[in-house]
Amino acid sequence: MDAKEKQDGARVQPHMPAQQQQELDSGIEAIRKGSVTALLRLRRGYVVALAEANNLSKADQTVGKAAYAQALVNWYKQCNQPEIRCPPIFPRPVVNLSTARSNAPSTTILDHSVLSEVWKDMQKTTLPSYMTRAPRNLGSRSHGKLKADQWRTAGLVNLVITLCRLWGGINASQKNQVLLRNYISLVIAIHWATSRTTSNHHIEIVEQFLVYYVHSTLEIFGTRALVYNNHASLHVPECLRAYGPAHGWWAFPFERYNGVLQRINTNSRIGEYSFSTVGLLLTSNR
């Protein structure tokens, strides 16, 4: 999410998964025929991906497409026509197959054009009194760090309203529809996981949509997008079964004490920190 980043202008059109497979099939056929010329008709990403899949070389931006193409043809001839491994296609539209997975996490999804629509919708939205309003310039650095309640309102209300409007219509691109399904699956899981009541059916919903969210995140953004919290979230259903509704055991008390610890003035006096900490905690709980 970056309020400063704007959408790119006209670029090379991304290839859908079916078109990716067609291009790779053409590349494999060109290798079998020993045609460097045919390989050069493909985008560099396909040629590099074919080279990597067959253990010829790691991707290197300093190496030209022609060098990769020649290496593939030479390898096939010198190794007595070995089996040519086809690299996996990417499950969403991409321009460069060889860098799709490694570069995906750095892609800005909510750029200025999207966030400006979020801001407009926020001005028109009336929230219940118990909900904490997110900053009106959500996504800008000027508002500083958001509190947990602000993140919840932004994620479960504000973004849902705008993204469903922008990406849920019949005119939305396939890429945006995939992103919307990924995001809404997380919203549904969070909604039922944080409900003040729960049931076996609710827990099954949480489990189903958390698994879908993690799997679709992996498919869309690649392995670099996964973090420890993705793994930890998959244990939420078993915690709901064991301990009941999350309001009785979630981490807000621990967050409160983290805040207390962060506000302690240590004065850089080594050996006295433990005494000042205990003293402050005892004072705050009187």
pLDDT tens digit sequence for 196-211: 999 999 999 999 999 9
CA distance 104 to 100: 6
Q: Are 138 and 162 in contact (CB under 8 A)?
A: no
pLDDT tens digit sequence for 185-194: 999 999 999 9
Q: Which residue pairs from 125-128 have beta carbons closer than 8 angstroms and sit at least 24 positions apart in sequence?
A: 125/157, 125/158, 125/161, 127/153, 127/157
Q: Are 3 and 115 in contact (CB under 8 A)?
A: yes
6: pLDDT strictly greater than 60: no
3-state secondary structure of 266: coil
List phi, psi (to 5°) of 228.
Answer: -60, -35
Residue 158 — very low, low, confident or very high, per pLDDT cuts 50/70/90? very high
* Alpha helices (H) along the chain: 17-33, 36-40, 44-53, 65-78, 100-103, 112-124, 148-153, 159-167, 174-193, 200-221, 228-233, 236-243, 252-262, 273-284
End-to-end CA distance of the chain: 42
Q: Are 158 and 135 in contact (CB under 8 A)?
A: no
User: Between residues 8 and 257, which one has the greater pLDDT?
Assistant: 257
Among 140-154, 182-196, 208-222, top mean pLDDT goes to 182-196
Q: Are 31 and 39 in contact (CB under 8 A)?
A: yes
Residue 10 — very low, low, confident or very high, per pLDDT cuts 50/70/90? very low
Neighbours of 6 (CB within 10 A): 12
Tokens 């593939």: give the residue. Answer: 72
CA 57 to chain centre: 28
Q: Which residue pairs from 119-125 have beta carbons closer than 8 angstroms and sit at least 24 positions apart in sequence?
A: 121/158, 121/161, 121/162, 121/165, 122/158, 125/157, 125/158, 125/161
Q: Please choose, from the candidates 92, 126, 88, the residue with its C-alpha nearest in 3D space to the C-alpha of residue 109.
A: 92
Q: Please choose, from the candidates 63, 87, 85, the residue with its C-alpha nearest in 3D space to the C-alpha of residue 75.
A: 85
Could you tell me the two tokens for 251? 């981490």
pLDDT tens digit sequence for 88-106: 887 778 888 888 766 554 5
Q: Are 101 and 20 in contact (CB under 8 A)?
A: no
User: Between residues 128 and 6, which one has the greater pLDDT?
Assistant: 128
